[in-house]
A and B are shown apart, each in its own frame.
Chain A
Amino acid sequence: MKGQLKRKIIRYKGIYILLIPVLVYFLVFSYYPLVLGIFKSFQKVKLLGGSQFVGFSNYKEILLDAQYQQAFWNSLIVGGGTFILQFFWGILIAVLLNETRNKVSRSLFQTVTYIPNLLSWSVVGGLWITILSPNGMVNGILKLLNNSNFSPIVFMSEEVYARTIMIFTGAWKGAGYFAALFMAAIVGIDTSLYESARIDGASRIKQIRYITLPVITPTMKVVTVLSVMGILRNFDQIFIMSNAAISDKIKNLLVLIYEQGIIQFNVGTATAAATIVLLATFIISTVVKKILKYDEIYS
Chain B
Amino acid sequence: MKKRNLAVGACLMAMSLALGACGGKDSPDPAAESGTAAESKEGDKTETPKAEGTVKILASVTGGKDEEEMKLFQEALSKGTGLDIVMEKPASDYTQVMMQKLSGGEKYDLIYLNASDYDNLIAQDALLDITDRIKASKILTDNIDPKEWEDITIDGKIYAGFNKKEVHRVVALNNTMLKAAGIDYKSIEPTMDGYYDVFRKLKENSSDSDFYPFNTILSETWDLQPWMAAEGLKNGVVLDDAGKKYAPYAEEEAGPVWEWFKKLYDDGLMDPAAFVDKTKDMRNKMGASSKKNAVTADWVAWVGLHNANAAAGGISTDEYEIVSLPGLKTPEGSYMLAKGAASLFGVPANAENPDGAIKVLEYFASQEGGNLLSTGIEGHDYTGSEGNYEYTEIGASHAGDHGAPFPIYKDYQPLFPHAAGVDEALSYGDYAAIDMIIPNEGDYKEIIGKWGIKMIKGEVSTEDGLSGMRQELVDRKVTDR
Q: Do A and B bind each other?
A: yes
- The chain A residues found within 8 Å of chain B, CB to CB, are 35, 38-39, 42-43, 45-53, 66-67, 129, 133-135, 151-152, 154, 156-157, 243-245, 247-248, 259, 262-265, 267
A133-B273, A135-B273, A154-B275 as given contacts; A49 in contact with B16, CB under 8 Å: no
The docked-state distance in angstroms from the alpha carbon of A262 to that of B96 is 6
Contact across chains for B276 and A156 when beta carbons are under 8 A apart: yes
Residues of A within 8 A of B64 (CB): none
The docked-state distance in angstroms from the alpha carbon of A135 to that of B209 is 10
Contact across chains for A259 and B442 when beta carbons are under 8 A apart: yes
**Which of B53-61, B136-144, B217-225, B239-247 contacts the other chain?**
B217-225
Most B CB within 10 A of own CB, among A35, A52, A133, A265: A265
Contact across chains for A154 and B121 when beta carbons are under 8 A apart: no
The docked-state distance in angstroms from the alpha carbon of A19 to that of B384 is 65
Choose among B17, B25, B218 the residue that contacts A244 (Cβ–Cβ < 8 A).
B218
Contact across chains for A47 and B99 when beta carbons are under 8 A apart: yes
Residues of B within 8 A of A48 (CB): 29-31, 102-103, 124-126, 348-350
Q: Which 6 residue pairs spanning A and B have beta carbons closest together?
A: A53-B21, A244-B449, A157-B275, A39-B20, A50-B29, A243-B219
- The chain B residues found within 8 Å of chain A, CB to CB, are 16-17, 20-22, 24-25, 27-32, 95-96, 99, 102-103, 116, 120-121, 123-126, 210, 218-221, 268, 271-273, 275-276, 348-350, 439-440, 442, 445-447, 449-450, 453-454, 457, 475-476
A157-B453, A265-B120 as given contacts; A244 in contact with B220, CB under 8 Å: yes
The docked-state distance in angstroms from the alpha carbon of A135 to that of B123 is 44
The docked-state distance in angstroms from the alpha carbon of A166 to that of B442 is 22
Contact across chains for A47 and B103 when beta carbons are under 8 A apart: yes
Chain A to chain B contacts (Cβ below 8 Å), 19 pairs: A39-B16, A47-B99, A48-B29, A48-B30, A48-B102, A48-B349, A49-B29, A52-B24, A53-B21, A66-B475, A154-B273, A243-B275, A243-B276, A244-B220, A245-B450, A248-B450, A263-B442, A265-B120, A265-B124
Residues of B within 8 A of A151 (CB): 268, 272
Most A CB within 10 A of own CB, among B210, B276, B348, B447: B276
A133-B276, A154-B275 as given contacts; A247 in contact with B124, CB under 8 Å: no
Most A CB within 10 A of own CB, among B219, B350, B442: B219
The docked-state distance in angstroms from the alpha carbon of A245 to that of B273 is 12
The docked-state distance in angstroms from the alpha carbon of A197 to that of B262 is 65
Residues of A within 8 A of B272 (CB): 134, 151-152, 154
With both chains docked as a complex, state the minimum distance between the C-beta of B124 and any C-beta of chain A, in angstroms. 5
Choose among B22, B120, B124, B449 the residue that contacts A245 (Cβ–Cβ < 8 A).
B449
